[in-house]
């Protein structure tokens, strides 16, 4: 489950939305609505790991193994350096400064981007294929271990 203190309206999560005819849980990507009560909502949600496909569909560019997004600036088409995931050391950077807290999940990246730019990051996840209940729980338990970098990015 997600700590409700980490999420805000607009964050994308993997939510249990009901059960199918075989009583297996049904999951789908959902953005948290402004009128949802976070403390109850967090009990049926799981974080979404940051992947290269999510970054690619959400406005990040890929160059020499690194993923980056720049801020628009007058006089330059590419913009000014902003956030970068450096593949060699598997760390996130703000301009040239290594981030103290490394985002591992989509909602953390959304919150970081919003805190730094006062704009929402345009996340495009696509359609989620439903999976059996054991997979997201196993996925979540694995994330409790200490992780030094974002390993899902290649």
Task: Give the angle subtended at the CA of 108 by the CAs of 102 and 112, to the nearest 5°.
Answer: 80
CA distances from 77 to 13, 27, 72, 112 (A): 33, 40, 8, 24
Q: Which residue has the higher pLDDT, 99 or 80?
A: 99
Task: Check residue 23 and report its DSSP letter.
Answer: S
Would you say the pTM of this structure is higher than 0.85? no
Which pLDDT score, from 0 to 100, does residue 129 have? 58
Q: Is the pLDDT of residue 24 over 90?
A: no
Which pLDDT score, from 0 to 100, does residue 150 have? 46
Q: Is the pLDDT of residue 134 over 70?
A: no
What would you measure as the largest C-alpha separation in the chain, in angstroms?
A: 58
Which pLDDT score, from 0 to 100, does residue 38 have? 64
Which pLDDT score, from 0 to 100, does residue 128 have? 63
DSSP assignment of 90-150 equals TEEEETTEEPSS---BHHHHHHHHHHHHSS-------PPPP--THHHHHHHHHTTS--SS-
Q: Which residue has the higher pLDDT, 61 or 152?
A: 61
């Amino acid at each position: 489950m997600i700590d409700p203190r980490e999420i805000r309206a607009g964050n994308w999560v993997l939510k249990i939305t009901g059960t199918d005819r075989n009583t297996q849980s049904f999951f789908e990507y959902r953005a948290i609505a402004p009128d949802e009560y976070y403390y109850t909502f967090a009990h049926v949600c799981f974080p979404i790991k940051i992947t290269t496909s999510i970054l690619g569909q959400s406005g990040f560019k890929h160059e020499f193994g690194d993923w980056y997004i720049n801020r628009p600036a007058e006089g330059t088409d590419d913009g000014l350096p902003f956030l970068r995931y450096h593949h060699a050391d598997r760390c996130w950077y703000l301009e040239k400064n290594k981030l103290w807290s490394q985002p591992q999940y989509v909602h953390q990246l959304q919150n970081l981007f919003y805190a730094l730019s006062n704009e929402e990051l345009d996340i495009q996840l696509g359609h989620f294929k439903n999976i059996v209940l054991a997979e997201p729980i196993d996925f979540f338990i694995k994330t409790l271990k200490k992780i030094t970098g974002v390993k899902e990015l290649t």
